[in-house]
Amino acid sequence: MSDAAPVLGVLAGLIGVADTVPYVRDIARQSTRPHRGTWLIWSVLATMVCFSQLADGATWSLVMAGTQAVLTGLILGLAIRFGTGGLSRADGVLLAIAGCGVAGWFVADAPIVATACVVAADLIGIGMMVPKTWCDPRSETLSTFALASLSGALAAGSVAALDPALLLYPAYFCLGNGALALLILHRRAILHGTVRKPGVLAPREAV
């Protein structure tokens, strides 16, 4: 195992905690209203990937997965109290995909099947977020997604060997959240005037 793996794994978990703080802050300010169905899906998926990574032999990279499982459960609790919406048909489809991953895990005795289905379901969930985020980038917390991407990168670095089963989720977590952060940043720049002509001052943007 790499000597840096424990450090990277713990840092990934700490940043996972840090990226939740601004989201909880924005819920308290009522500038963010989490969708109950979405956070239920993410809570289920985070718990699944935590157990599948554990079964695959993850060590320090498991810190991020475990942290995400706990924190998504926390946000789900806040969403039930302060959020909006419920389970839609699309949410049901994502749960079904996750369920297929669990079934495949038991039938094939391959935890990576569950992890792959989690990634597929989560990717669909991100795709469902894109239109809303494109139209209203201020409705999402930029720093949460940027820090989550960094957490995924650190978790991938804490994997001791080039094992696809263990690298799949943290690598996806890094890329998926990074793409959302870039989308939010780009759309805010376009819609709120931070992309400007030379000599024209732009208003300051909060994160």
Give residue limits of the domains in the chain.
5-191
Of 114, 137, 122, the C-alpha closest to 173 is 122
Residue 158: φ, ψ to 5°: -85, -5
Name the token pair of 79: 């969403």
Can you give the pLDDT at residue 198?
Answer: 42
Can you give the pLDDT at residue 66?
Answer: 92
Q: Which residues contact 189 (CB under 8 A, 6 or more apart)?
A: 195
Can you give the pLDDT at residue 99?
Answer: 79
Can you give the pLDDT at residue 91?
Answer: 75
Residue 90: φ, ψ to 5°: -65, -40
Can you give the pLDDT at residue 33?
Answer: 80
Of 144, 193, 194, 175, the C-alpha closest to 27 is 144
pLDDT tens for the chain, 207 residues: list them: 567 888 999 999 999 999 999 999 988 888 878 878 878 888 888 898 888 888 888 888 889 999 999 999 999 999 898 887 777 787 788 778 877 877 877 777 778 888 888 888 888 878 877 887 898 888 888 999 999 999 999 999 998 777 888 899 999 999 999 999 999 999 999 987 654 444 433 333 445
**DSSP output for 124-174:** HHHHHHHHHHHH-GGGS-HHHHHHHHHHHHHHHHT-SS--HHHHHHHHHHH
The Cβ-side half-sphere exposure at 102, using a 13 Å CA radius, reads: 13
Can you give the pLDDT at residue 173?
Answer: 92
Name the token pair of 28: 């308290």
Q: Give the whole-angstrom CA distance, residue 176 versus residue 118.
A: 13
What amino acid is encoded at 47 in this protein?
T
Can you give the pLDDT at residue 18?
Answer: 93
Name the token pair of 11: 């840092």
Is residue 147 within 8 A of residue 21, CB to CB? The reply is no
Q: Which residues contact 122 (CB under 8 A, 6 or more apart)?
A: 42, 45, 172, 176
Can you give the pLDDT at residue 207?
Answer: 54
Can you give the pLDDT at residue 194?
Answer: 52
Can you give the pLDDT at residue 193?
Answer: 66
In the three-class reduction of DSSP (H, G, I as helix; E, B as strand; rest coil), residue 193 is classed as coil
